[in-house]
Amino acid sequence: MVMQEVELRKGPWLEEEDEQLASAVAVLGERRWDALAKASGLRRSGKSCRLRWMNYLRPNLKHGNISAEEERVIIELHEKWGNKWSRIARRLPGRTDNEIKNYWRSYLKRNHLVLDKGCLNRDMNNTSGNTSLTSECGMASPCSTDDGCFLFKDEIFGPSGDSSDALEILSLTRSPYETRLTEWMSNWPPDHIRKTEPKDEYYDEFYTPEWINGDSTWEFSLWDGE
DNA sequence: AACTTGTCCAACCGCGCTTGA
DNA sequence: CTCAAGCGCGGTTGGACAAGT
């Protein structure tokens, strides 16, 4: 007798599939996804079932907008760990790696591109360590990027050397995204400040609020000089 | 109103690591 | 010890919807 392969379904999940999956997980637990997929009667791969459960059906998941505080955690942890989405997600209860990854790629990357047009540049020859605003587009911008570059509030200086100048310049732009970003930057807490003078390799130390698991000291590689 | 372009996000894919027979 | 299956992770895709022209 020839075993007939059941063609697996792909694409968006139906409500009844969700219910079937939830029932199966309730009985069998969150493991052996291939076996669970078969036992549940779903025409889905175990991998697909796991993904659906982890990213959508799992209890205590938060659905909805990323809060300002969550955003700050994402930015800081990405600066520290890079694209370790699952690791970052573990610091944000209720958020999935997929959600964070999507958020990063769309929202923050978009801000980076917007601000590239705004042309914020760090002057690498500036021995004072201050960041200057120039008319040329560069990699440095006041948001995290896939390049791993990031400028903090106290690193941004306007022509007079005053960071408020820079924020004012940024606020002159018309894009709502830029407006949101400058608002966000101006709301950074006072304890999120650079504690050390910039080193040649732009490797600074920050104290951050208690909300990251009680750790008091973090280090960030802000600029690799490339 | 119709079409185009941009954005978001759920889901898929491929790869590498872990586990267990 | 070996190897296949299971699993987790990060990258990518594609469809739905919104915004712009």
Element (H, E) at A159: none
Nucleotide nearest to A101 (CA to C1'): C10
Rounded, the Å distance between the CA of A50 and C1' of C11 is: 18
- The pLDDT, as a whole number, for residue A97 is 87
- The pLDDT, as a whole number, for residue A190 is 36
Angle at A91 between CA A90 and CA A92, to 5 degrees: 90
Domain covering A68-188 in this structure, CATH number: 1.10.10.60
How does pLDDT run across A121-154, given as a tens digit for each residue? Answer: 332 233 333 332 222 222 333 333 333 333 333 3
For chain A, the average pLDDT equals: 57
Amino acid found at A181: L
Shared fold status for A15-57 and A68-188: yes
Contacts of A20 (CB under 8 A, 6+ apart): A40, A41, A42
Contacts of A42 (CB under 8 A, 6+ apart): A9, A17, A20, A21, A24, A49
- The pLDDT, as a whole number, for residue A61 is 84
- The pLDDT, as a whole number, for residue A187 is 41
Nucleotides of C under 7 A from a protein CB: 5-12
Task: Compute how many other C-beta atoms are within 10 angstroms of the C-beta atom of residue A203.
Answer: 14
Amino acid found at A139: M
Nucleotides of B under 7 A from a protein CB: 7-14
**Nucleic chain B: which protein residues 59-78 of A have CB below 7 A from it?**
63
Model confidence at A116: pLDDT above 80: no
Which residue ranges have CB below 7 A from strand C? Answer: A 31-35, 46-47, 50, 83-87, 97-98, 101-102, 105
Fold of A15-57: Arc Repressor Mutant, subunit A (1.10.10)
Proximity of residue A31 CB to strand B below 7 A: no
Nucleotide nearest to A11 (CA to C1'): B11
- The pLDDT, as a whole number, for residue A27 is 84
Residue spans of the domains in chain A: they are 15-57, 68-188
